[in-house]
Amino acid sequence: MDVIFSIYSMNNYIKYFSSLFFTISLCLSDSGYNTIYLMEFDNLKNNFTYSHLKEALPDLIKENYKFREDIKVEYAGNISPYIEKYKRSDEDSIKGLIINGSFETINEEFYIEFEAYDIQNWEQLVKRQIFCPIHDIICVHDAFLISIESSISPFLTDKLDLEATIRALEREEKKTKSHDLDQENPHGRREVNINTEPFDLQHKLDGTNYNQEKYGN
């Protein structure tokens, strides 16, 4: 009898804490941002060698959140239409932040600075600076994404759409099935195809084959 009572009590506690956690999650999710607008980064010294990073750095931010289907990421272009849109908008469901940034080389160091603002009241939410050795592309790539993740993600809504995210992951899995190292070809030999996505991202940083127009400039 005592065992049955203990199990019953435990189930009640689990239900209570589950409902409490769910309620808290909903409350927190309403306070987060669900839209990110990306500005082209400024090349402070107009260094032609690194001019492609004006677009490549915002691209990395978009790439970082590609699985978050509850978060909308857009390239802002000219910011004026977005200001007017928010002045006229009656959509309370849109909570946006805008990220802009800059980069420059000083001696043998490469510096990136970025800021994030609430697009409705222009309150500054984040201001961060990172630097790496000037020729260390991997350092620039990793340090920038780690800094974005640690400083921007805490401001985002935590109401993750699990079904949408699972669908996104399934789509990505289908795309990368051909890169499975254990896949056998019809002749019995192993196919060795490596997913080149990280390599492609680093090529964006070093300027290889990079020519995109997204910002309406």
| Integer Cα distance of 127 and 52 in angstroms | 22
pLDDT at position 77 is 72
Instruction: List the single range of 71-75, 107-111, 157-161, 177-181 with lowest mean pLDDT.
Output: 177-181
- Residue the block writes with tokens 């001019």: 51
Average pLDDT, the chain: 72
Q: Does 54 have pLDDT greater than 60?
A: yes
pLDDT at position 70 is 87
| Integer Cα distance of 118 and 90 in angstroms | 17
**Once rounded to an integer, what is the mean pLDDT over residues 26-32?**
52
Q: 38 pLDDT band (50/70/90 cuts)?
A: very high
CATH architecture, domain 33-206: 2-Layer Sandwich (3.30)
Whether the full predicted model's pTM is greater than 0.75, yes or no, is no
CA dihedral 113, 94, 215, 158 (to 10 degrees): 50
**Once rounded to an integer, what is the mean pLDDT over residues 158-166?**
59
The 10 Å Cβ neighbour count of residue 19 is 10
| Integer Cα distance of 161 and 183 in angstroms | 32
The larger pLDDT score, comparing residue 65 to residue 197, is at 65
52 three-class SS: coil
| Integer Cα distance of 141 and 126 in angstroms | 19
Q: Does 110 have pLDDT greater than 90?
A: yes
pLDDT at position 157 is 83
Considering the chain, what percentage of its residues have pLDDT values greater than 90? 44
| Residue 114 Cα distances to 40, 104, 117, 124, 148, angstroms | 11, 12, 10, 11, 9
